[in-house]
């Protein structure tokens, strides 16, 4: 691991942490492509690299989401009942999803990853978050029902589920945009725990892992990414509460359309340097 690759990981952590606090994601959609590229650059097999990227992402998301959630809590934007129920159900889903992911090839995981991101963004484009006036739906069964499949998908693609759960909370559960972003951070703490534990267990004994790895979790990348992302999540949360809901939604959609197209490989097919 050269110094310039370490620098790229630190910068990635800064961007991912800020995004986590700002639009209610764990940063996995930003970290995964960079980690995958770093790992393959140093000679790690792509099928191992993608799983290490996903497993490490999930571990980084835990402290990053925690930092973001408590920052949003200070502004009264976290509905803890919803966050806990979505997160606990999502944790079990994350275990299932991660267990499935370790048996899938890298190309398949990247394409699934990309389409999941695009789906969340496209569903949000035509929605007006400022029109929500009713109280959020906090039915226990509904929240548990929503949390599990979000967790499964999160485990498969190595993210906290913010890109999926924010649109669901806004459009289905009638959350205001800032409430969805804040509560998403709380949900991700638990969902990521389930997924990370499964990636760790399933990676024990696998050949070709990068140095400083425990299962499909790389401790060096975790320290670099978490060290930069955790403090920046607080900064992102502060910024989010100064931005109107419509503009917050716009940023959410732009970031995820780009990341989705990137992971599917659209820019590579078009020979675009993006």
Helix segments in 135-271, DSSP class H: 140-157, 162-171, 177-203, 219-240, 245-264, 266-269
Q: Which two tokens stand for residue 41?
A: 């650059």
Decide if 157 contacts 54 (C-beta within 8 A): yes
- Let me know if residue 20 belongs to a domain: yes
Q: Which of 147, 126, 162 is nearest to 240 (CA)?
A: 162
Q: Which of 199, 187, 114 is nearest to 148 (CA)?
A: 187
| pLDDT at 127 (0 to 100) | 56
Number of domains in the chain: 1
- Let me know if residue 69 belongs to a domain: yes
Measure the CA–CA gap between 99 and 102, rounded to whole angstroms.
Answer: 6
The overall pTM is greater than 0.85: no
Q: What is the pLDDT of residues 187-221, one digit of tens each?
A: 988 999 999 999 999 999 999 999 999 999 999 99
Measure the CA–CA gap between 199 and 100, rounded to whole angstroms.
Answer: 10
| pLDDT at 130 (0 to 100) | 55
- Let me know if residue 31 belongs to a domain: yes
3-state secondary structure of 214: strand
Decide if 45 contacts 151 (C-beta within 8 A): no
Domain that holds residue 73: 3-269
- Let me know if residue 66 belongs to a domain: yes
- Let me know if residue 274 belongs to a domain: no
Q: What is the pLDDT of residues 110-153, one digit of tens each?
A: 787 778 778 767 766 765 555 555 678 788 999 999 999 888 88
- Let me know if residue 54 belongs to a domain: yes
Average pLDDT (13-22) is: 82
Query: Hey, which residues does 214 pair with through a beta bridge?
Result: 217
Q: Which of 82, 58, 100, 30 is nearest to 193 (CA)?
A: 58
């Amino acid at each position: 691991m050269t110094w310039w690759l370490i620098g790229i990981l630190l910068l990635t952590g800064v961007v991912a942490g800020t995004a986590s606090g700002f639009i209610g994601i764990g940063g996995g959609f930003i970290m995964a492509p960079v980690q995958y590229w770093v790992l393959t650059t140093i000679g790690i097999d792509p099928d191992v690299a993608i799983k290490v990227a996903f497993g490490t992402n999930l571990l980084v998301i835990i402290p990053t989401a925690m930092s973001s959630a408590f920052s949003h809590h200070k502004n009264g934007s976290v509905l803890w009942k919803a966050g806990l129920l979505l997160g606990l159900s999502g944790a079990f889903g994350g275990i299932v999803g991660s267990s499935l992911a370790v048996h899938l090839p890298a190309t398949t995981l990247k394409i699934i990853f990309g389409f999941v991101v695009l789906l969340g963004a496209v569903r949000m484009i035509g929605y007006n978050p400022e029109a929500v006036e009713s109280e959020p739906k906090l039915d226990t069964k509904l929240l548990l029902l929503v949390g599990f499949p979000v967790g499964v998908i999160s485990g498969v693609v190595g993210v906290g589920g913010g890109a999926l759960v924010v649109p669901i909370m806004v459009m289905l559960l009638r959350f205001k945009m800032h409430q969805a972003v804040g509560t998403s951070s709380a949900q991700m703490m638990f969902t990521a725990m389930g997924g990370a534990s499964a990636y760790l267990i399933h990676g024990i004994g696998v050949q070709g892992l990068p140095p400083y790895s425990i299962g499909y979790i790389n401790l060096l990348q975790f320290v670099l990414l978490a060290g930069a992302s955790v403090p920046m999540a607080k900064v992102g949360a502060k910024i989010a509460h100064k931005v109107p809901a419509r503009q917050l939604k716009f940023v959410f959609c732009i970031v995820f359309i780009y990341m989705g197209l990137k992971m599917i490989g659209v820019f590579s097919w078009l020979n675009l340097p993006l």
